[in-house]
């Protein structure tokens, strides 16, 4: 008879011993924790998000922001390099005249549709003005409607009222 009909009984017993071993070891630690003992050991590998967070890698790409000039206006000159390179077509810029003739061009509207964004970071790479970055540390932007997933320029500039960047989690940003 073909051998693949056989049930690997030895392996089954070994497997049960392994899982039972984990069960008892972890239970012992959990019970010890209840009495305030052996707190340096962990009975699980789980991080209790959102109370407990892992530190982000400094290279992690998080929600976008637009950098500002000293006067609080966006550094962006609406050259549309990011809009052009964007593989998801999620950036929508409308350009207009800047009052300062030496700056010339500025974005009147700068929308990013996070519902479409793939977080590739091309927009940051391609920007000639260092006007867009993905270093906010914000990864929680779920919303109840597609409209709410669209970031407008105000939110991207992270002015007052906007969600503050969670820089504590970004280890020394390069």
Partner 1 sequence: MTEIVITMGKIAFVLFCVFNLLYVLLWLERKQSAVMQDRIGANRADIFGLRAWGLFHPIADAIKMICKEDFMPAAADKFVYTAAPFLAVFFSLVGFAVIPFGDTLTLGGHTIHLQIADLNVGLLYVFAMLSLGVYGFILAGWASNNNFAFLGGMRAGSQMISYEITMGATVMGLVILFQTLSLNQMVQAQGEYFFGFIPKWGVLLQPLGFLLFLIAGIAETKRIPFDLPEGESEIIGYFVEYSGMKFGMFMMTDFIETILLSAMLTTLFFGGWQIPYLHADGFHLGGLRLAINPVLVSFLQVAAFGLKVFCFCWLLLLIRWTLPRFRYDQLMALGWKFMLPLSLLNLAITGLVVLL
Partner 2 sequence: MPKITIDDKEISVEGGTNIIAAAQRLGIEVPHYCYHPGLSVAGACRMCLVEIEKMPKLQTGCSTLATEGMVIKTIAHSAKAKAAVQGVLELTLINHPLDCPVCDQAGECGLQDYYMKYGLYNSRMRDAKVKKEKKASALGPHVMLDQERCILCSRCVRFTHEITKTNEIGIFNRGDHSYIDVVNGRSLENNYSGNVVDICPVGALTDRDFRFQCRVWYLQESDSICPGCSTGCNIKIHFNVRRRHIAGGRRVQRLKPRFNEAVNQWWMCDEGRYAYPSIDENRITTPSARLAAAHQRMDWRDAIDQMALALREALAAYGPESVGVIASPQLTNEDLYLIKKLFVDVLGIAAVDYRMPPNRSAKNDDFLLRADRNPNTLGAHLIGLSPFGKEISTPRILEAAAGGRLQVLYVFSTDLVAVYGEAPIANMAAHVPLMIYQGTNHNRTSTLAHLVLPAAIYAEKNGTFTNYAGRVQHLKPAFAPLAEAMPDWKILCKLAQALGHDFRYADEEAIFEELANSQPAFAGITYAGIGSHGWPIEKERVLSFVTA
φ, ψ for residue 65, nearest 5 deg: -145, 160
Residue from 92, 119, 122, 141 that binds partner 2 (CB under 8 A)?
Answer: 92
Q: How far is CA 53 from CA 23, 95, 101, 113, 166, in A?
A: 25, 39, 47, 26, 12
Which is closer to partner 1, CB of 16 or CB of 103?
16
Based on the shown chain and the rule CB under 8 A, indicate whether residue 77 belongs to the binding site for partner 2: yes
Question: Contact, 166 vs 136, CB < 8 A?
Answer: yes
Which two tokens mark 118? Answer: 């793939």
Contact letters for partner 1, residues 22-51 (x by CB under 8 A): xx--xx--x------------xxxx-x---
Q: What is the DSSP letter of 3?
A: G
Query: With CB under 8 A as the contact rule, which of the stretches 6-14, 58-66, 88-96, 147-155 interacts with partner 2?
Result: 88-96
Cα–Cα nearest to 62, from 136, 167, 166: 136
Residue from 15, 55, 58, 96 that binds partner 1 (CB under 8 A)?
Answer: 15
Which residue carries 């056989």 as its tokens?
Answer: 6
Based on the shown chain and the rule CB under 8 A, indicate whether residue 118 belongs to the binding site for partner 1: no
Residue ranges in contact with partner 1 by CB under 8 A: 1, 4-7, 12, 15-16, 18-20, 22-23, 26-27, 30, 43-46, 48
């Amino acid at each position: 008879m073909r051998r693949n009909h056989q049930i690997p009984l030895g392996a089954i017993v070994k497997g049960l011993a392994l899982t039972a071993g984990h069960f008892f070891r972890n239970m012992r630690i959990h019970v010890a924790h209840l009495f305030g003992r052996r707190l340096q050991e962990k009975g699980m590998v789980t991080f209790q998000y959102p109370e407990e967070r892992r530190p982000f890698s400094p290279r992690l790409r998080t929600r976008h922001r637009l950098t500002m000039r000293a006067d609080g206006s966006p550094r962006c000159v609406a050259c549309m390099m990011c809009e052009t390179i964007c593989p998801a077509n999620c950036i929508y810029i409308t350009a207009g005249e800047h009052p300062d003739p030496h700056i010339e061009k500025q974005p009147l509207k700068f929308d990013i549709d996070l519902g479409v964004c793939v977080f590739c970071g091309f927009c940051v790479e391609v920007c000639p003005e260092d006007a867009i970055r993905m270093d906010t540390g914000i990864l929680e932007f779920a919303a109840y409607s597609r409209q709410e997933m669209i970031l407008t320029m105000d939110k991207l500039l992270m002015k007052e009222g906007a969600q503050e960047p969670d820089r504590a989690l970004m280890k020394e940003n390069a």
